[in-house]
Amino acid sequence: MNQAIGIFDSGLGGLTVLKTLSKSFPNESFCYLGDIARLPYGNKSPETIRKYGLQIFEYLKNQNVKAIIIACNSASSVFMEDHDYFGIPVFNVITPGTQAALSITKNNRVGVLGTSATIRSGAYTNCIKSFSPKTQVTAEASPLLVPLVEEGWSKDEVTRLVLAKYLAPFKAAKVDTLILGCTHYPVLKGVIKELTDYKMELIESGEVLANTLRNQFADGKIQAASIGPGSIHIHITDLTDHFEKLAKELLSPQEFTLTRVVI
């Protein structure tokens, strides 16, 4: 039987990543763990996020996954040096996101919009500077966006006002490439584009991870599924009112199973 690819996020935002990956690799099966019970990660300490992340690695290992993708940017920021968990390759979202941004920027001004934990960690800024010291980085935390998306308010006027305020520093710094450094933000892509007058290239986690996986399959570092179609299994540590409805909206028309689990 084909082994699944493990993906984890603190909540439902990582479904934006899952959707892109399952579209890109229809033969692959995915085991998604959403740690809803402990969401948000974005305002927690690095020690706590690391403890949660290791518990999830262990859970996914027991699900016999062939790779672990840390879709969550806040979690990625504390696992930058971890590339392997008991022989299972581990991928963070920050390194490929950085590389994608650097390959796109024309004026060497890159913006990072993320949770407090991601921005405080400096992971994106350090990663960008390590590849390109001359690039000017504007990094801003936007802690109000995750609850608004989780609430299903992504198209609400309130969210638009909040976003306008968060985007102002990027406009002032004239960034031409903005990393959406949080799994929830691709849901807000349309509004972000409008509010930035379609002048910024937006970097999304799902797309950069698809490229990473494509290279891994091509190099034979991860074995691609030989027979399809793959299936999607979503495991969540708590069930909120909106999860199933939002998951259906986000993943449609792809089907999935949903199970509440204890980790």
Does 254 sit near ligand DGL (CB under 6 A)?
A: no
Output 182 or 225, the one with its CB closest to ligand DGL. Answer: 182
- φ/ψ of 251, rounded to 5, equals -95, -15
- How near is the Cβ of 248 to ligand DGL at its closest, in Å? 19
Task: Provide the minimum distance between the beta carbon of 35 and ligand DGL in the complex, in angstroms, as a whole number.
Answer: 8
Regarding 69 and contact with ligand DGL (CB under 6 A), the answer is no
31 in catalytic set: no
Nearest one of 153, 160, 118 to 139, comparing CA atoms? 118
Which of 213, 250, 249, 223 has its CA nearest to residue 21? Answer: 213
In the list 7, 9, 128, 206, the residue contacting ligand DGL (rule: CB under 6 A) is 9
Q: Which of 17, 20, 32, 40 contacts ligand DGL by CB under 6 A? A: 40
Quote the tokens at residue 203: 């970097």
Among 16, 29, 74, 254, binds ligand DGL (CB under 6 A): 74
Pick from 4, 67, 72, 203 the residue near ligand DGL by CB under 6 A. Answer: 72
Determine, following the binding rule CB under 6 A, whether residue 85 of this chain makes contact with ligand DGL: no
Asked if 98 is part of the footprint of ligand DGL (rule: CB under 6 A), the reply reads: no
Positive or negative, the Cα torsion across 42, 167, 127, 68? Answer: positive
Helix intervals (H) in the chain? 15-24, 46-62, 73-76, 94-104, 116-121, 123-131, 145-150, 157-172, 189-195, 205-218, 243-251
- Mark 182-221 with x for binding to ligand DGL (rule: CB under 6 A) and - for no binding: xxx-------------------------------------
Paired residues of 91 in beta bridges = 69
Interface stretch with ligand DGL, choices 21-29, 40-48, 152-160, 253-261 (CB under 6 A): 40-48
Q: Which of the stretches 10-18, 24-32, 206-214, 250-258 binds ligand DGL when contact is defined by CB under 6 A?
A: 10-18
d(C-alpha 202, C-alpha 196), whole Å: 10
Q: What is the DSSP letter of 77?
A: T
Q: Does 237 bind ligand DGL (CB under 6 A)?
A: no
Q: What is the spatial distance between Cα 175 and Cα 179, in angstroms, rounded to a whole number?
A: 10
d(CA 161, CA 83): 39
Is 16 a binding residue for ligand DGL by CB under 6 A? The answer is no
Q: Of 118, 177, 237, 254, which lies in the binding site for ligand DGL, with binding defined by CB under 6 A?
A: 118
- Residue 127 annotated in active site: no
d(CA 155, CA 147) in angstroms, rounded, equals 13
Q: Which residues are catalytic?
A: 72, 182
Interface ranges with ligand DGL (CB under 6 A): 9-11, 13, 39-42, 72-74, 115, 118, 146, 182-184
